[in-house]
């Protein structure tokens, strides 16, 4: 059985003290469960401190992005080696905001995914269509193409261990959630792409989260769908109580 992944993506929110308060309020309340893992994707500046504070707990810390090179002249960037050196275990790769504002492409997403595995970091690879693409009936074409390119050159074993996050761009931060059925249809399609392009075992193992206006009020319905294995949550992950409610739902 696949374990749900409940990940709170704070994006560019919280000061250090707000981040510390959140972690102190949640880290001992994460149910130790074989049904879910709980992750906070924090601003890079706080990763070292938050990893230290969560040591020995069931709350894990992720980076929101990373570079694909080990080191070099890339001012302002953070390498997978640097993330690994401070104990970060997961990294979000190719979030639609990175694709839109920072020139992230399917090619860089693929390079970063390879680099994450090289350094023992679990990649959370984001994919999803825009409203325009959905309305033009291109959802499967767009999402299928993103998945195929993201996974290029990975072993079946690596694919089994990665996390894909299906986030329709039109549902992010808009309050418009895809219905559970709409979300599941695309997640099932993605799993089928993995089956065809990689292997049946990889398709069975890969976790596929849904993201886009997930909150405690709609998470149960989304998680009850067969091909949705968790949630990548922005706004509703910023408050400790709300994040804990989401994790609780994933652990049932
Ligand atoms: O990474 C999280 C997603 O972009 C969803 O954000 P949201 O829950 O605020 O819609």
H or E element at residue 109: helix 106-118
With a 6 A CB cut-off, is 9 part of the ligand 1 pocket? yes
pLDDT at position 23, please?
98
Pair 151, 137: CB distance under 8 Å: no
- Residue of 166, 169, 62, 68 lying closest to 113 (CA atoms): 68
Q: Report the atom number in ligand 1 closest to the C-alpha of 175.
A: 10
Handedness of CA 198, 200, 204, 209 (dihedral sign): positive
CATH class given for the domain over 5-250: alpha beta
CA separation, residue 35 to residues 6, 50, 252 (Å):
10, 23, 7
pLDDT at position 32, please?
83
Nearest 5 degrees, angle CA 179-CA 245-CA 218?
10
In this prediction the pTM is 0.97
Binding residues for substrate, as ranges, are: 9-11, 173, 213, 234-235
CA of 155 to the centre of ligand 1 (A): 29
CA separation, residue 204 to residues 145, 154, 240 (Å):
20, 16, 32
With a 6 A CB cut-off, is 7 part of the ligand 1 pocket? no
Pair 231, 222: CB distance under 8 Å: yes
Question: Read out DSSP for 55-92?
Answer: TTSSEEEEES---SSSSSS-TT---HHHHHHTT--EEE
User: Domain coordinates of the chain in residue numbers?
Assistant: 5-250
H or E element at residue 103: none
Determine which residue's CA is closest to atom 8 belonging to ligand 1.
Answer: 234
Q: Which residues contact 195 (CB under 8 A, 6 or more apart)?
A: 202, 203
pLDDT at position 1, please?
82
CA of 11 to the centre of ligand 1 (A): 9
List the pLDDT tens digit at each of the 252 positions of the chain: 899 999 999 999 999 999 999 999 999 999 888 899 999 999 999 999 999 999 999 999 999 999 999 999 999 999 999 999 999 999 999 999 999 999 999 999 999 999 999 999 999 999 999 999 999 999 999 999 999 999 999 999 999 999 999 999 999 888 888 899 999 999 999 999 999 999 999 999 999 999 999 999 999 999 999 999 999 999 999 999 999 999 999 998
Pair 167, 127: CB distance under 8 Å: yes
Pair 186, 194: CB distance under 8 Å: no
Q: Is the ipTM of this complex over 0.95?
A: yes
With a 6 A CB cut-off, is 36 part of the ligand 1 pocket? no
Q: Which residues contact 248 (CB under 8 A, 6 or more apart)?
A: 31
pLDDT at position 59, please?
97
Pair 151, 191: CB distance under 8 Å: no
Nearest 5 degrees, angle CA 187-CA 188-CA 193?
95
Tell me the catalytic residues: 95, 167
pLDDT at position 178, please?
86
Determine which residue's CA is closest to atom 3 belonging to ligand 1.
Answer: 234
Which residues in the chain belong to E strands, given as ranges?
4-9, 36-42, 59-63, 90-93, 122-127, 163-166, 207-211, 230-233
With a 6 A CB cut-off, is 233 part of the ligand 1 pocket? yes
- At 214, list the tokens: 């997930």
């Amino acid at each position: 059985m696949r374990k749900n992944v409940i990940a709170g993506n704070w994006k560019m929110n919280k000061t250090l003290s707000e981040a510390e308060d959140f972690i102190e309020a949640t880290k001992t309340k994460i149910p130790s469960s074989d049904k879910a893992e709980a992750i906070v994707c924090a601003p890079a500046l706080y990763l070292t401190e938050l990893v230290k504070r969560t040591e020995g707990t069931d709350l894990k810390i992720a980076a929101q992005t990373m570079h694909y090179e080990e080191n070099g002249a890339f001012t302002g960037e953070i390498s997978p080696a640097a993330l690994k050196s401070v104990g970060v275990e997961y990294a979000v790769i190719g979030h639609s905001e990175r694709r839109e504002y920072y020139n992230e492409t399917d090619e860089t997403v693929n390079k970063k995914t390879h680099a994450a595995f090289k350094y023992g970091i679990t990649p959370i690879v984001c994919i999803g269509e825009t409203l325009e693409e959905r309305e033009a009936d291109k959802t499967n074409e767009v999402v299928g193409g993103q998945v195929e390119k993201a996974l290029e050159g990975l072993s079946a074993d690596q694919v089994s261990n990665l996390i894909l996050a299906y986030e329709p761009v039109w549902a992010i931060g808009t309050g418009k959630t895809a219905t559970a059925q709409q979300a599941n249809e695309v997640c099932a399609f993605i799993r089928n792409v993995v089956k065809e392009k990689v292997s049946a075992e990889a398709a069975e193992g890969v976790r596929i989260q849904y993201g886009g206006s997930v909150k405690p009020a709609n998470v149960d319905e989304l998680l009850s769908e067969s091909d949705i294995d968790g949630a990548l949550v922005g706004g509703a992950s910023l408050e400790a109580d709300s994040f804990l409610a989401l994790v609780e739902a994933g652990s049932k």
